[in-house]
Structure 1
């Protein structure tokens, strides 16, 4: 019996190299009953939103079906820090709900180094349970937080550390503080009305000490901006807002609608008053005042790059809202406490 198995195995291994045999032994044979999900070669929400949204959509489908998955990262050539928070948050969701989640790692050394720095590979082999709050990574380079509530104290701590990376000492960065608070609040505002306070927001902060830059990636897996607007109930000031907006402004798709949200037109239509500076448009005002830089938003089927004023439709919809921005030494800051 053993001899017969060995003969079959030797035949199966013929014609493949030693590294391929090793890969098969470590990452294929032990996970035969897992659904293999291929990560895109460019694993970056900013640089490849189409590929990453499709990747998330595949993972979400298997999560909803409670099917265990094996994420194939082997062919990833480029991975950026904004994608790390997506990977970490999805992995924790699977593991906390006792759905097996495993994977390999990129053969590309640079991509592999970034994953290692984020501690993703370490967490891949840990157990997680459903918790109110998670803290992953290390404060010196990439640090990921998750919670279900607004946490201004966390914002203060993150800004203190970020300003040291950018300017070498502590500064006030009111734009970053405002952005963080608005996004934490929005996680509830964009949730289904019956599920407020149930969803985690995820925030990853990466310190690039060589270039004196800090990048922030925020994600919530709520319903997303447009689905949220459609779900508003009677009594909300935004109930029926899309019909009202169409009477006043012509727009063709969600990309054009997000433009109207970001410039405050939607709010003025809903309230008849000048825009009050909250939510996503308030964050755009922060960018316009040069308090943050390189603001990108992905929600449902739209990717917006606010710096270049580009709003593009995605072929697949992302269930949630993703916001990315940077802080550099050209951004407005001042001394004092946040």
Structure 2
């Protein structure tokens, strides 16, 4: 009678195949179990998010996300119940989620606002060209050709982007020549150049910069946001060197004590080359032009209103440097 078992060589192969299949199953279970136990922390924004008007209230959500990421948690951004999300905050959210320095290379997911108008603003801005936090169905319909939100790496100075924004604003404000927009051009180029000046006192690193332009036709206003997620002005090498000299002869209490020196150009840039721009002092001087309705500089724990010269020390700290301004359009 023939044996019901296969030959020894075939039996060995059969056992190996069986254990191989079991090994695959066990690995699959381990992967699923690992994913299901991954600690996702949720950040739920309030109905209204206004970075400039309510900086402490807004920054605490970003700082909480930064804390979660650095504790090796993944972050789930809940935008569903937001009714108002200021244009400057859209740019900030895109920059933060896209920055490995901010996210610590951890996972990110989220949703879109239920508010139809706000959801449209997110999509039209180009936000989802840079941020991939949704499922495939949503990703496929959020591609934007508007290119309102620019990301440039390695602290490049893109004069073409600066000129394009000047040409865009020329007709909006009723200017006859593009040269009439020189203050806008200077601010954009200086901000691009100055990104590299925010390098750490410890490490010479270049940071990506972001530019977002949003036209609110209902109010005849164009919003501009320029930012980088770096160490911030007050933790940069030039400022740290200045502080070390200050503490030898004066009492230094907070970054507020440095603002006037910074704006008036007494704190020199990290390079003494004459062909380099003047950075924040130049931006500050140009911001006084009447073509700008509002102009703010936010870095670390300091918010500066360049139009009124009001300076506020914040309780919450911003991870980088941000310029935000508005320009009124010509009413037809």
Q: Same fold (TM over 0.5)?
A: yes
Greater mean deviation of Cα atoms: 72-81 or 89-98? 89-98
Deviation at 1:111, TM superposition (A): 3.2
State the match for 1:305 in structure 2.
Answer: 305
Q: Measured at CA, do residues 212 and 191 of structure 1 come closer, stay the same or move farther in structure 2, by a change above 3 Å?
A: same
State the match for 1:181 in structure 2.
Answer: 189
State the match for 2:326 in structure 1.
Answer: 326
Instruction: Answer whether contact 1:225 1:299 (CA < 8 A) is retained.
Output: yes
Q: Measured at CA, do residues 253 and 239 of structure 1 come closer, stay the same or move farther in structure 2, by a change above 3 Å?
A: closer
Structure 1: state its 5+ residue gaps.
1-29, 128-135, 233-237, 331-338
Identify which of 227, 231, 248 aligns with 2:235. 227
SS at match of 2:193: helix
Deviation at 1:31, TM superposition (A): 10
State the match for 2:140 in structure 1.
Answer: none
SS at match of 2:99: helix
Instruction: Answer whether contact 1:155 1:177 (CA < 8 A) is retained.
Output: yes
> How far apart, in 1, do the equivalents of 2:170 and 2:68 lie?
40
> How far apart, in 1, do the equivalents of 2:88 and 2:120 lie?
15
> How far apart, in 2, do the equivalents of 1:66 and 1:32 lie?
10
Over the aligned positions, Cα root-mean-square deviation in angstroms equals 3.6
Instruction: Answer whether contact 1:164 1:170 (CA < 8 A) is retained.
Output: no
Greater mean deviation of Cα atoms: 84-93 or 111-120? 111-120
Q: TM-score, normalised by structure 2?
A: 0.71
SS at match of 1:112: helix
Query: Is 1:69 paired with 2:75?
Result: yes
Deviation at 1:121, TM superposition (A): 5.4
The residue correspondences of 1:1-338 to structure 2 (distance < 5 A) are 33-93=39-99, 99-120=106-127, 123-125=131-133, 137-139=144-146, 142-148=148-154, 149-167=156-174, 171-172=178-179, 173-192=181-200, 195-196=203-204, 198-228=206-236, 231-232=237-238, 240-245=241-246, 252-266=253-267, 278-329=278-329
Q: Measured at CA, do residues 96 and 190 of structure 1 come closer, stay the same or move farther in structure 2, by a change above 3 Å?
A: closer
User: Per-residue CA shift, 1:45-101, capped at 9, x if unaligned?
Assistant: 212211222122122223334432110112323211101111112222369986331
Number of residue pairs the alignment of both structures matches: 280
Instruction: Answer whether contact 1:296 1:305 (CA < 8 A) is retained.
Output: yes
